[in-house]
């Protein structure tokens, strides 16, 4: 059996007195997409942020996180990222006041040739909109920028947090296609609420419930078990976890 690229053991995170993660353990395979699932507020984003060292200073993190043989805990975020841990945050977090080109240039590293060819091949629109302020891009374009920014450098593992949130269905498909292509060359730990995207991309799944791991295994098997997905995620396997989310209704306009 191949060694996992990421090994999380007994991870606990406490922030402002709240015990958000309580002894979470899971692994991420060295290839393909591993999806982190769970209802809202169970600690999915907290898990990704703990891995990349972005737990708030007032927070307390315990446990072990290893990428290959390297321990990640207590290392500053910028070093983890330079070590090959790419992070695409929830809500994109592009720099709205900077242009698209400046957002990309920010991700360049001294002595490393940035992979603009690869990024522009995946997202030709970023090349055309280089001088446009990122804040004036649509939600879908901002998501492409957020992903493109990370892909400028080589990564050993990508952490991607809800990349399709608030996007129009057509853009969701485009983002899923890109992640599928990206996952051919680099493993991805994905937080995703859209089960159609999960079905398309994910090989392995980790389900969190109340700050603990409730289920791990084959993602496709999980999605076939309607009763299981309903009990773990609160929805049937054919639905999104937040079908009534207001942003989705308006996403057709915003998202493209």
Partner 1 sequence: MGTVILLTLTGLGLAALYFLVASGLSLVFGLADVLNFAHGLFLGVGAYATWWAAANLPGAGSDGFGFVLAVVFGVAAGTLVAVLVELVLIRPLYSRTIEQVLVTVGLSLAGVALLQATWGADARPFPRPDWTRQVTGILGAQVPNGGLLLIIAAVLVLGALLAFLRWTRYGLVIRAGVENREMVTALGIDVRKAFTLVFAIGGAAAALAGALGGVYFGTVSPGQGGSLLIFAFIVVVIGGMGSVVGSAYAAVAVGLLQQFVNYYGPSGLGDVCVVGLLAVVLLLRPQGIAGKVATA
Contacts with partner 1 by CB under 8 A lie at 52, 54, 56-58, 76-78, 81-82, 87, 89, 93, 95-98, 102-103, 105-107, 109, 149-150, 153
Task: Give the shortest CB-56-to-partner 1 separation in angstroms.
Answer: 8
Q: How far apart are CA 190 and CA 201, in angstroms?
A: 9
What string of H, E and C letters represents the secondary structure of 152-176? Answer: CCCCCEEEEECCCCCCCHHHHHHHH
8 A C-beta contact, residue 100 and residue 110: no
8 A C-beta contact, residue 34 and residue 54: no
Task: Decide whether 98 or 214 has the Cβ nearer to partner 1.
Answer: 98
Task: Give the shortest CB-157-to-partner 1 separation in angstroms.
Answer: 14
Task: Give the shortest CB-107-to-partner 1 separation in angstroms.
Answer: 5
Task: Decide whether 59 or 169 has the Cβ nearer to partner 1.
Answer: 59
The helix (run of H) or strand (run of E) holding residue 221 is helix 219-224
Task: Decide whether 59 or 63 has the Cβ nearer to partner 1.
Answer: 59
Task: Decide whether 55 or 237 has the Cβ nearer to partner 1.
Answer: 55
Tokens of 229: 């997905």
Task: Give the shortest CB-144-to-partner 1 separation in angstroms.
Answer: 16
From residue 79, how far is each of 52, 59, 73, 113, 226 by CA, in Å? Answer: 10, 20, 11, 18, 42
E-strand spans in 54-100?
A: 60-67, 70-71, 85-88
The helix (run of H) or strand (run of E) holding residue 27 is strand 18-28
8 A C-beta contact, residue 201 and residue 179: yes
Task: Give the shortest CB-233-to-partner 1 separation in angstroms.
Answer: 28
Task: Give the shortest CB-87-to-partner 1 separation in angstroms.
Answer: 5
Tokens of 241: 């976890």
Task: Give the shortest CB-158-to-partner 1 separation in angstroms.
Answer: 12
From residue 88, how far is each of 19, 70, 136, 234 by CA, in Å? Answer: 25, 21, 19, 26
- Other beta carbons within 10 Å of 242: 16
């Amino acid at each position: 059996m191949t060694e996992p690229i990421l090994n999380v053991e007994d991870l606990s995170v406490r922030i402002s007195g709240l015990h958000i993660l309580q002894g979470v353990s899971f692994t991420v395979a060295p290839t393909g997409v591993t999806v982190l699932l769970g209802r809202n507020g169970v600690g999915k984003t907290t898990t990704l942020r703990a891995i990349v060292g972005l737990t708030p200073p007032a927070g307390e993190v315990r446990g072990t996180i290893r990428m290959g043989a390297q321990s990640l805990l207590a290392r500053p975020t910028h070093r983890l990222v330079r070590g090959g841990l790419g992070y695409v945050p929830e809500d994109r977090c592009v720099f709205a006041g900077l242009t698209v080109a400046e957002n990309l240039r920010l991700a360049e590293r001294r002595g490393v040739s940035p992979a603009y060819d690869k990024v522009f091949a995946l997202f030709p629109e970023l090349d055309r909109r280089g001088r446009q302020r990122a804040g004036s891009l649509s939600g879908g374009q901002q998501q492409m920028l957020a992903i493109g920014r990370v892909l400028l450098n080589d990564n050993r593992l990508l952490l991607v947090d809800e990349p399709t949130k608030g996007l129009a269905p057509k853009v969701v498909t485009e983002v899923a296609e890109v992640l599928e292509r990206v996952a051919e060359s680099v493993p991805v730990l994905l937080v995703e609420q859209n089960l159609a995207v999960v079905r398309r991309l994910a090989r392995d799944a980790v389900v969190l419930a109340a700050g603990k791991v409730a289920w791990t295994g084959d993602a496709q098997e999980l999605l076939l078990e309607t009763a299981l997905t309903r009990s773990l995620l609160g929805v049937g396997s054919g639905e999104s976890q937040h079908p009534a989310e207001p942003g989705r209704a308006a996403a057709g306009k915003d998202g493209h």
